[in-house]
Amino acid sequence: MPVTRCDIFCRVIDNFGDIGVCWRLARQLAATPGLAVRLWCDDLASFAPLAPALDPARATQTLAGVTICRWDGAADSAAPADLVIEAFACDPPAPYVEAMAARAVKPVWINLEYLSAEDWVEGSHGLPSPHPRLPLVKHFFFPGFTARSGGLLRETGLVEAHAAFQRDAAAQAAQWSALGLAPPPGALKISLFAYENPAVEGLLDAWADSPRAVFCAVPAGRIRAGVDAWLARRGEVADVARVGALTLARLPFLPQADYDRLLAACDLNFVRGEDSFVRAQWVARPFVWHIYPQAEAAHLPKLAAFLARYGTGLDTSARAALEDFWHAWEAGRDAGARWPAFAAALPALRAHARAWTADQAARPDLAAKLLIFCQNLLECRAL
Ligand code: TRH
């Protein structure tokens, strides 16, 4: 049976990562010939900053080939699709699930899980979870960095497009100018997106005292209060401020596509959560991950697992600089003190980032793997 209709359900828990991931997945699936994609989102106001063409007041609209529906009571009576994806265990509405069970050919039901580099992911990826009452089986789909996981979201040609942009000085200058910016020649270009972090002030001090010019672009977000406080202490109020060697540019929250290009234009990207963390990897440049903090420090094994994978192949001193700096940033202290060693490691980290990206980009992307997984399930059922 060909899959012709897909429903994705997204509940926004906080921040932008839930809808950021779902919006990318929806657009990639919608690029599949013959597949109609509906994205149900319970918080269109959180969605709109990523996709400014979206009108949060409209219950239904089509953007980039995806039918976007406000997830309200209307979802209860929607006809179930052939492929139903719930993001991060968000539970589609009970009447919709009942209608799934009533179909002669049951939909493929996927729970798209959070990304982790931990080893257990391979053992859990693809596992079935039969519904306790209805004749339905949900399958867990785990993104990941290895062949036995669900892979990473990546549009066709993305890495090549970033590489072409990075070779094109005029395109980069045009991109900065579109943002109303002109980084000083020779400056280390940094983007800064993170959760609140008390280490930011020491880091900004280190950049202001740096022997090399530093240009840092900070889109609106949770780290901005710390940045603003640091600037206020220096009497700086302008959106683009100079303090010592540092030029600090405060930007609005950018549409998702513009944010992606900002990452590609920078030498170093501070990212967070899940989606920006993955996007930083596709631009083949060094990055610093502010992992989403979880209760009882449950995020620390995730951080260690990623560092273990990502650090493999780096020379000892660059690896130590990477780990020290990432841990300091996560812990919210000493990032400024660790900056000189991290800055010295940047050339090695840049070469390493290229190799890591090439290795990850050689794998099938998440949307492609998901469709194959779905097709395989349907074929097994037919046997
Ligand atoms: O926003 P995040 O912290 O998201 C999350 C959520 O908190 C989620 O609940 C949690 O489970 C998950 O992290 C691990 O970070 P993330 O995932 O990077 O999402 C940010 C999105 O915002 C991403 O799609 C990129 C986008 N973005 C823009 O479109 N424009 C911008 O200017 C910036 C800074 C980001």
Render pLDDT for 195-247 as a digit per residue (tens, 0 to 9). 999 999 999 999 999 999 999 999 999 999 999 999 999 999 999 999 999 99
From 90, 116, 275, 303, mutation site for ligand 1 pocket: most ligand atoms within 8 A of C-beta: 275
**Does 275 sit in the ligand 1 pocket, CB within 6 Å?**
yes
Residues with catalytic function: 18, 274
The tens digit of pLDDT for each residue in 339-378 reads 999 999 999 999 999 999 999 999 999 999 999 999 999 9
**Opening angle at CA 151, ends 148 and 152, nearest 5:** 165
What residue's CA is closest to ligand 1, atom 18? 276
The tens digit of pLDDT for each residue in 272-320 reads 999 999 999 999 999 999 999 999 999 999 999 999 999 999 999 999 9
What average pLDDT does the structure give for the chain? 97
* pLDDT of residue 126 exceeding 90: yes
pLDDT band, residue 382 (cuts 50/70/90): confident
Ligand 1 atom closest to the CA of 21, numbered from 1 = 24
What residue's CA is closest to ligand 1, atom 8? 17
**Does 293 sit in the ligand 1 pocket, CB within 6 Å?**
no
CA 354–ligand 1 middle distance (angstroms): 23
Structure tokens at 41: 């989102």
The tens digit of pLDDT for each residue in 48-82 reads 999 999 999 999 999 999 999 999 999 999 999 99
H/E element holding 268? strand 268-272
| Domain boundaries defined on the chain | 5-152+363-382, 158-361
What residue's CA is closest to ligand 1, atom 1? 16
pLDDT at residue number 44: 98
Q: Which residue has the higher pLDDT, 24 or 2?
A: 24
Ligand 1 atom closest to the CA of 12, numbered from 1 = 9
pLDDT at residue number 1: 64
CA 50–ligand 1 middle distance (angstroms): 9
Continuous H helices in the chain: 17-30, 44-47, 94-102, 120-124, 158-167, 169-178, 200-208, 224-233, 256-265, 275-282, 300-311, 316-331, 335-361, 366-382
Q: State the CATH architecture for 158-361.
A: 3-Layer(aba) Sandwich (3.40)
